[in-house]
Amino acid sequence: MLKKVLVANRGEIAVRILRACRELGLETVAVYSDVDRNALHVRYANEAFNIGPAPARESYLRVDRIIDVALRAKADAIHPGYGFLAENERFAKACAEAGIVFVGPPASVIEAMGNKIQARLTVSKQGVPVVPGTYEPLRDDDMIAQAEKIGFPLMVKAAAGGGGKGMRRVERAEELSPAITRARSEAASAFGDDSVYLEKIIEHARHIEIQILADSKGNVIHLGERECSIQRRHQKLVEESPSPIVDKEMREKMGKAAVRAAEAAQYVNAGTIEFLVDNERNFYFLEMNTRLQVEHPVTELVTGVDIAKEMLRVASGRPLSVKQKDVRLNGWAMECRITAEDPFNGFLPSTGKIISLFEPTGPGVRVENGVYEGFEVSLYYDPLIAKLCVWGPDRPTAIMRMKRALSEYKILGIQTSIPFHQKLFESTAFIAGHFDTAFLDERFTMEQGGDEEHEKVAAIVAALLTHDRRQHAIAIPPASSSARAGWKKFRSWESMGR
């Protein structure tokens, strides 16, 4: 059994994992850079250790320093969260060599599934449909030859990539060679590996992922899907579960394919299988994320399964606490990623001190926060500062609840993405579920919302929402004369001290 866990991360995800540990009765250790000395995750943990200067390469990416702290603090395990070292096989190996449990899959699995070329080959052998493309590292000349067979448009993608880095869209043959050169250069800089591959672009696809859990006893389950198509330049901004386009039959097919993919990789712990879905609702394997996802709360809200706790449970050698037959999707959940960016100025990063912070509360609202009033937001790390999540019995209710929560959310001192989310949740195309991965880049603007063709839908949705509000409104009649008389009598008694 685990007794003490070091969280090798920062911000809202570090706080999320620390909370899970506290509920399980585990002691916790935080690590922090110089600029994060007063961060929320540092305040929340039982112990905290400085690991270096502000730049991540000198602190949160220093495997040696994190392992050293874990040994000094006598931590049994390290949870990497997401980002930083979460999908770094060297870090997982270093933990094992130091006798520390890595809360995640084995290093061999991270290495195998972290390479997207190898991952495509692994799952395709199990009958999982894969986006057409190449299945091995190729020289530039060979890739150009393969491109003609795959067809344009296509994407040049880094084999070790993630987060939209090392990716180039190619519309025609003459653009391919320079795109390969640029993608290789960016991949080498970001991941230390310049391997790239080609992948056919599925136009106007939906990005839908399946959450999987697996233990060391051979149990592998899925927790349904998440809709992640609201993206800006391959970066997710809003997620929801379930997806507006997935029915029971499709969910079962995608879930079984995700489980087969996890079994093929001999996966252990929490992970995500990402799919692209075309206009005919055919789905194709895109990649596997061998870590906890940013958007995991929406799955927790509709299934009731605490994914962070299950990760710790599996890491301690215990079986999953839930079986596939027990998994039920209840209601609808949505998540908005609140970032320190200016949506009116190309989402440029915003820094400074948070001088006032008011978080929304109330029924069905959950805030995953990594900041507080007085916290200084710096340029050194990812702009994600919080996640606003809501749950409702159905999608219209969840949308209304998110709109209410966004209107309550006040962060002063920095620019945030809240105005963008408010604009999106007024979009009739979004409300109607008419969107795909290209929606934000091609058909949405902060000025107009990109919804001119949906005027009829807007009228219908507005009428439905107005009717719903009226149905649920509480009528407060004007005070009657007897009520006013009673109030006067009460005040007179009060003045007499009675």
Using CA atoms, how far apart are residues 116 and 378, in angstroms rounded to an integer?
32
Q: What are phi and psi of 232, to 5 degrees?
A: -125, 115
- Indicate the residue among 177, 200, 223 that finishes a domain: 200
**Between β-strands 4-7 and 77-79, what pairing exists: parallel, antiparallel or unpaired?**
parallel
* CATH, residue 162: 3.30.1490.20
Adjacent-strand bridge partners of 284: 276
How far is it, in rounded angstroms, from Cα 441 to Cα 435? 11
Tell me, yes or no, whether 470 lies in a domain.
no
- Rounded CA separation 448/149 (Å): 40
List all residues 6 or more positions away from 388 whose beta carbon is below 8 Å from its beta carbon. 335, 336, 338, 360, 365, 366, 367, 402, 405, 406, 409, 421
Distance separating alpha carbons of residues 44 and 29, to the nearest angstrom: 9
Answer yes or no: do 286 and 159 share one domain.
no
* Same domain flag for 41 and 13: yes
- Structural domain tally of the chain? 3
For residue 460, which of 439, 429, 420 has the smallest C-alpha distance?
A: 429
CATH number of the domain encompassing residue 389: 3.30.470.20
Indicate whether 484 belongs to any domain.
Answer: no
Distance between CA 70 and CA 79 in Å, rounded? Answer: 11
Secondary structure tally for the chain: helices H, strands E: 17, 22
> Is 165 buried (19+), middle (13-18) or exposed (0-12) by CB count in 10 A?
middle
Verify that 98 and 167 share a domain, yes or no: no
Q: Is residue 291 among the annotated active site residues? A: yes
Same-domain pairing of 407 and 445: yes
Its domain, for residue 186, covers: 132-200
Domain C-terminal end among 422, 439, 455? 455
CB atoms near residue 140 (< 10 Å): 13
330 and 441 co-located in one domain: yes
Co-location of 292 and 178 in the same domain: no
Q: pLDDT digit of tens for each residue in the chain (498 aa)?
A: 899 999 999 999 999 999 999 999 999 999 999 999 999 999 999 999 999 999 999 999 999 999 999 999 999 999 999 999 999 999 999 999 999 999 999 999 999 998 889 999 999 999 999 999 998 888 899 999 999 999 999 999 999 877 678 899 999 999 999 999 999 999 888 788 899 999 999 999 999 999 999 999 999 999 999 999 999 988 999 999 999 999 999 999 999 999 999 999 999 999 999 999 999 999 999 999 999 999 999 999 999 999 999 999 999 999 999 999 999 999 999 999 999 999 999 999 999 999 999 999 999 999 999 999 999 999 999 999 999 999 999 999 999 999 999 999 999 999 999 999 999 999 999 999 999 999 999 999 987 544 444 455 555 555 555 555 555 544 434 444 443 444 444 344 444 444
State whether 191 and 227 are in the same domain.
no
**Same domain (yes/no): 284, 387:** yes
Residue 427 to residue 40: CA distance in whole angstroms:
34
Round to whole Å and give the CA distance between 426 and 238: 14
Is 362 within the bounds of a domain?
A: yes
Please check whether residue 61 lies inside any domain of the structure. Answer: yes
Question: Which of 291, 313, 337, 401 is flagged as catalytic?
Answer: 291
- For residue 118, being part of any structural domain is answered with no
Residue 5 gets the label, from left (phi > 0), alpha (psi -120 to 50) or beta, of beta
Residues 242 and 374 in one domain: yes
Chain centre distance of CA 65: 27
DSSP 8-class letter at 247: -
The answer on 438 and 420 residing in a single domain is yes
Verify that 40 and 92 share a domain, yes or no.
yes
**Contact (CB, 8 A) for 300 and 306:** yes
Is the domain of 157 the same as that of 137? yes
pTM for this one? 0.87
- Classified as helix, coil or strand, 221 is strand
